[in-house]
Structure 1
Amino acid sequence: MIDEKNLIEGRTGKWEVILGLEVHAQVISHSKLFSGAATNFGAEPNTQVSLVDAGFPGMLPVINQVCIEQAVKTGLGLNAQINLRSVFDRKNYFYADLPNGYQISQFTQPIVGQGTIVLDLAEGHREVGITRLHLEQDAGKSLHDQHPTKTYVDLNRAGVALMEIVSEPDMRSSEEAAAYLKKLRSILRYLGTCDGNMDEGSMRCDVNVSVRKPGDPLGTRCEIKNVNSIRYVAQAIEYEARRQIEVIEEGGTIRQETRLWDPGKGVTRSMRSKEHAHDYRYFPDPDLLPLNLDAKWVESLKAGLPELPDAKRRRFTEKLGLSDYDAGVLVAEKESADFYEEAAKGRDAKLVANWLTSELFGKLNAAGKSIAESPVSAKALGELVGLISDNTISGRIAKDVFTEMFETGKSAGQIVEEKGLRQVLDTGAIDAEIDRIMAANADKVAEYRGGKDKLFGFFVGQVMRAMGGKANPAMLNERLKAKLAG
């Protein structure tokens, strides 16, 4: 079914954008896919290279079981078919940072088959299909800006294990593509199989874009290679879709090609014509036997999976009573969900969620900090909410307390005691202050009793100001109404 809001208006009518993503996710492992070389980010160039990675003759690949385990766990997290038999192939092409002259990848028999991801969209949830996940080696890195006439090659990344996760062409807008990447990254981080740090290159995205008139067959697609941020993915899609529409409407045709995203100019640029599978001359790697997995081992991995974002979201809404929106915000990052659960232990779950998503997230964003860098711990936030729930302090006073907690790292209880901020629950003290304010504003009392109901807020403000904001709001409202009624 075509969603009208996703259609793009061109000169000749409305166009539909068809999107499929290929995500390269670096496997979290201490060593590479077929060698014992380290995988640490930021190491000095060519300091994490084995003889296998460098393509020395006679060096044979030895498979890393941890990488296999991480791929299977990812497949399970994507609700995908785990193929108990898979094959590693040689993908042949020449490039300076590919020492062997081929990449060990998987072609016809990948380790993971079809699966699904549920997108969290403003209008609700919907599924995007996963075509496959296969394991492959990363290539090295060519450095073109180190010398005016030379290119240097760093092989630290050569041989690092990648999971290539290929979606079905099920997305229809840049917003859906962004939601897909956010959800996929969240799942990978929950599983601990990829850190998802696009700025470090450990998660990279190729975007396949085509356009068509609604109901027409699929158009010719262009692939935008190695886009390294979700924001750039969205921008590249918007530009490329418009470009293709303009080409077609001006009587041209779309060439199937690979393009690059230029973030500085905000455009895609042609890189090369799109390769086909036969260009790479795939064949099974003769140095690696087919990979055969034990079904019981796969089941044991499945049994050990952590609670994933969708399941956690359901639990937060069904068991803790959170709104779907708040639950979605909290589970988007594992660190936020863990922080929330610790803060909410024995507390008002909804109130904790409100304070976390509005007050704490707001201050962290303003300070440019992550939840891991929060000066207010989960336990400290829970304590603050506890003081609100048991009427020790009011919600208004709590905001001042929270600001000081964020700035000083002090606990809520310490600040409340040091500044004498405990809420006044003594009806006698509240009555006395109400009587004083009414006596000083007899004219306004008369106006209120004459029908000016809006003056009630004036009296509340005056009493609160006189009591330093410490009067219990519910008690103040009740006593004030009774006295004003005469």
Structure 2
Amino acid sequence: MELETQNSKLKTRYEAVIGLEVHAQLLTKSKIFCGCSTAFGAPPNSHTCPVCLGMPGALPVLNKRVVEFAIKSALALGCDIAPSSRFHRKNYFYPDMPKNYQISQYELPLAQRGTVAFPVGGVLTSIRIHRLHLEEDVGKLLHAGTLQVADSSLVDFNRSGVPLMEIVSEPDIRSPEQAGEYLRQLRAILVYLEVCDGNMDEGSLRCDANVSLRLTGREELGVKAEVKNMNSFKGVQKALAYEIQRQTRILEEGGRIVQETRLWDADQELTLPMRSKEHAHDYRYFLEPDLVPLVISSQWIDEIRATLPELPQQRRDRFAREYGIPDYDAAVLTVSRPLADYYEEVAQASHEPKLASNWVMVELLGLLNKDGRGIIDSPIPPAELTALLTLLLSGTISGKIAKTVFEQMYQTGKSAELIVKEQGLTQISNQDELLQIVEEVLAKHPGPVADYRKGKVQSLTFLVGMVMKSSRGKANPRVVGELLLTRLKGEEPGGDG
């Protein structure tokens, strides 16, 4: 109890100030300044050319589709788009960077001043976007050994020159949970726009975090540390939580925070020092002499704005409003456009949006997640799930049978109607046929019958279950319940008592 009180005091004494730098790989077929493929998983150094390898005399040519995707993203985030922006050379040495400089945008970015708004704990939170700019990715180092000590390192330049869009937030984030939700919302927007696949495992979406602490109520910012190497939402939250605890401990012991870059070690769940943190002037920025200014007309912006889809928050609000489903359901079902499209097709065709929501969220996503598959790989098309729900709603099959049929549909690709026909799974609703089963169950279980007549109403559930078991799940539960109540009251089915 004393330890909990002490931790609570520390939490209220210090306030975390967090800003995120998100790098999104744009879904173009070719790289930002050359025609090499951006496809993931190719043999090392097979998607390279003199331009992305930085060979002397090779000249970059800007990919128009890259700019289009960045403008679309900026519009969705409510950013101001600069009519003219410039590329710079960001100079630093790293083994996976062939030119020893990176072409990026510095003092004249493509867009600024946007917002990502989302609810956290029922409270609407807005995180401001400081800037959105374009740059080329560098290569990838492959280390043999541990994160701390590499026995050897290899470099793959396939990723060198892949188009990146960096989205830098203002330091408005105050907790790891808020950071995780901001990242989820931002990813959802980019995936909806189809400008980024959001695959953090493959590095399509990467996040660096700047973290500092200050005394609660103070305006002055503390010394920040940058945390890298986070490749999941949970990883971001765990890394930030650890870094906040680390800095708190140092300050409480009278120490000083060092401005540095730290790596998140997911195995040990701690951050490790990597290098001292650079300042902007350390990169010796200067204008890229081989690229002209990027001029964007208002007409082009308007043309791109006309192509914007319904965004995640808009679709969440509409699903909750039009289909009457809970906010939680709407949030889950709109994580991606394909999933939202799938659900909406089933909801509209079945005319039962809440039932459709339950089946998509629980049954379908449960199996897909277990197999590591996405909704676009679902072996059950929306029309086939709708057909299954139609059989359920019409009383042709019971809920228990529907789940059995669903699993077989998933495994075999067969239609619900065919499975029901082949296995004779049609629900029994005929009273005479069911009454025979009911009489047998009552005769076999005199104890629960007596308990019910003494006022123990829970016994009815047991008896219904026994009838369903005897009918191998084919009995109509509603009719079974009615027949049991009638017989337990000593009445004849269909009579007046």
> Do the two structures share a fold, i.e. TM-score over 0.5?
yes
Which residue in the other structure is 1:268 paired with? 271
Q: 8 Å contact 2:31–2:162 — kept in the other structure?
A: yes
Say if 1:11 and 1:450 are closer, same or farther in 2 by CA, change over 3 A.
closer
Say if 1:231 and 1:437 are closer, same or farther in 2 by CA, change over 3 A.
closer
Give SS of 1:319's match. helix
Shifted more, 291-300 versus 89-98: the winner is 89-98
For 2:113 and 2:178, how far apart are their aligned partners in 1? 20
Give SS of 1:344's match. helix
Deviation at 1:73, TM superposition (A): 0.9
Equivalent residue in structure 2 for 1:212, among 214, 229, 232: 214
For 1:452 and 1:124, how far apart are their aligned partners in 2? 45
Q: 8 Å contact 2:96–2:140 — kept in the other structure?
A: yes
Which residue in the other structure is 1:192 paired with? 194
For 1:372 and 1:120, how far apart are their aligned partners in 2? 28
Deviation at 1:450, TM superposition (A): 4.0
Say if 1:300 and 1:445 are closer, same or farther in 2 by CA, change over 3 A.
same
Which residue in the other structure is 2:495 paired with? none
Q: 8 Å contact 1:210–1:221 — kept in the other structure?
A: yes
Which residue in the other structure is 2:493 paired with? none
Say if 1:227 and 1:426 are closer, same or farther in 2 by CA, change over 3 A.
same
For 2:292 and 2:247, how far apart are their aligned partners in 1? 44
For 2:175 and 2:108, how far apart are their aligned partners in 1? 31
Q: Aligned AA for 1:334?
A: R
Say if 1:75 and 1:429 are closer, same or farther in 2 by CA, change over 3 A.
same
Which residue in the other structure is 1:423 paired with? 427
What TM-score comes out, normalization by structure 2 length?
0.89
Q: Does 1:126 align with 2:128?
A: no
Q: Does 1:409 align with 2:433?
A: no
Alignment RMSD (CA, Å): 2.7
Deviation at 1:414, TM superposition (A): 1.5
Instruction: Give structure 1 stretches of 5+ with no counterpart.
Output: 1-6
Q: 8 Å contact 2:17–2:174 — kept in the other structure?
A: yes
Q: Does 1:239 align with 2:214?
A: no
Shifted more, 172-181 versus 471-480: the winner is 471-480
Which residue in the other structure is 1:317 paired with? 320
Say if 1:417 and 1:272 are closer, same or farther in 2 by CA, change over 3 A.
same
Shifted more, 85-94 versus 463-472: the winner is 463-472
For 1:318 and 1:35, how far apart are their aligned partners in 2? 46
Say if 1:385 and 1:451 are closer, same or farther in 2 by CA, change over 3 A.
same
Shifted more, 379-388 versus 339-348: the winner is 339-348
For 1:157 and 1:196, how far apart are their aligned partners in 2? 16
Deviation at 1:165, TM superposition (A): 0.6
For 2:183 and 2:325, how far apart are their aligned partners in 1? 24
Which residue in the other structure is 1:37 paired with? 36
Which residue in the other structure is 2:96 paired with? 97
Give SS of 2:133's match. strand
Give SS of 1:253's match. coil
For 1:423 and 1:200, how far apart are their aligned partners in 2? 47
Q: 8 Å contact 2:12–2:216 — kept in the other structure?
A: no
Which residue in the other structure is 1:457 paired with? 461
User: Over residues 188-226 of structure 1, what are the superposed CA-to-partner deviations in whole Å (9 max), with x where a residue is unaligned?
Assistant: 111111122222222211111112232123211100124
For 1:371 and 1:19, how far apart are their aligned partners in 2? 33
Shifted more, 247-256 versus 89-98: the winner is 89-98
Which residue in the other structure is 2:50 paired with? 51
Q: 8 Å contact 2:21–2:207 — kept in the other structure?
A: yes
Give SS of 1:401's match. helix
Which residue in the other structure is 2:184 paired with? 182
For 2:80 and 2:143, how far apart are their aligned partners in 1? 41
Shifted more, 352-361 versus 67-76: the winner is 352-361
Deviation at 1:37, TM superposition (A): 2.2
Q: 8 Å contact 1:8–1:14 — kept in the other structure?
A: no
Q: 8 Å contact 2:73–2:190 — kept in the other structure?
A: yes
Instruction: Give structure 2 stretches of 5+ with no counterpart.
Output: 1-5, 491-497
Deviation at 1:71, TM superposition (A): 0.5
Which residue in the other structure is 2:332 paired with? 329
Equivalent residue in structure 2 for 1:350, among 350, 354, 357: 354
Give SS of 1:130's match. strand
Q: 8 Å contact 2:448–2:463 — kept in the other structure?
A: no
User: Over residues 255-285 of structure 1, what are the superposed CA-to-partner deviations in whole Å (9 max), with x where a residue is unaligned?
Assistant: 2111122223322122222211122222322
Q: 8 Å contact 2:339–2:375 — kept in the other structure?
A: yes
Which residue in the other structure is 2:404 paired with? 400
Say if 1:11 and 1:433 are closer, same or farther in 2 by CA, change over 3 A.
closer
Shifted more, 307-316 versus 461-470: the winner is 461-470
Which residue in the other structure is 1:304 paired with? 307
Say if 1:416 and 1:266 are closer, same or farther in 2 by CA, change over 3 A.
same
Say if 1:364 and 1:49 are closer, same or farther in 2 by CA, change over 3 A.
closer
Which residue in the other structure is 1:20 paired with? 19
User: Over residues 109-136 of structure 1, what are the superposed CA-to-partner deviations in whole Å (9 max), with x where a residue is unaligned?
Assistant: 2111111223354545422221111001
Which residue in the other structure is 1:61 paired with? 60
For 2:204 and 2:456, how far apart are their aligned partners in 1? 64
Deviation at 1:309, TM superposition (A): 1.2
Q: Aligned AA for 2:317?
A: R
Which residue in the other structure is 2:75 paired with? 76
Give SS of 1:372's match. helix
Q: Aligned AA for 1:363?
A: L
Shifted more, 440-449 versus 310-319: the winner is 440-449
For 2:91 and 2:462, how far apart are their aligned partners in 1? 79
For 1:149 and 1:232, how far apart are their aligned partners in 2? 26
Which residue in the other structure is 2:296 paired with? 293
Equivalent residue in structure 1 for 2:166, among 142, 147, 164: 164
Q: Does 1:362 align with 2:366?
A: yes
Deviation at 1:376, TM superposition (A): 3.0
What TM-score comes out, normalization by structure 1 length?
0.90
Which residue in the other structure is 2:257 paired with? 254
Which residue in the other structure is 2:494 paired with? none
Give SS of 1:17's match. strand
Q: Aligned AA for 1:223?
A: E
Give SS of 1:29's match. coil
Q: Aligned AA for 1:365?
A: N
Say if 1:265 and 1:424 are closer, same or farther in 2 by CA, change over 3 A.
closer
User: Over residues 57-111 of structure 1, what are the superposed CA-to-partner deviations in whole Å (9 max), with x where a residue is unaligned?
Assistant: 3332211101000101111222222222212122222334333332211112211
Q: May I ask how many residue pairs the two structures share in their alignment?
A: 480
Q: 8 Å contact 1:345–1:382 — kept in the other structure?
A: no
Matches within 5 A, 1:464-483: 464-483=468-487
Say if 1:403 and 1:298 are closer, same or farther in 2 by CA, change over 3 A.
same
Say if 1:8 and 1:279 are closer, same or farther in 2 by CA, change over 3 A.
farther
Say if 1:451 and 1:158 are closer, same or farther in 2 by CA, change over 3 A.
closer
Say if 1:464 and 1:95 are closer, same or farther in 2 by CA, change over 3 A.
closer
For 2:140 and 2:445, how far apart are their aligned partners in 1? 77
Which residue in the other structure is 2:203 paired with? 201
Percent identity over the alignment is 48
For 2:470 and 2:94, how far apart are their aligned partners in 1? 77
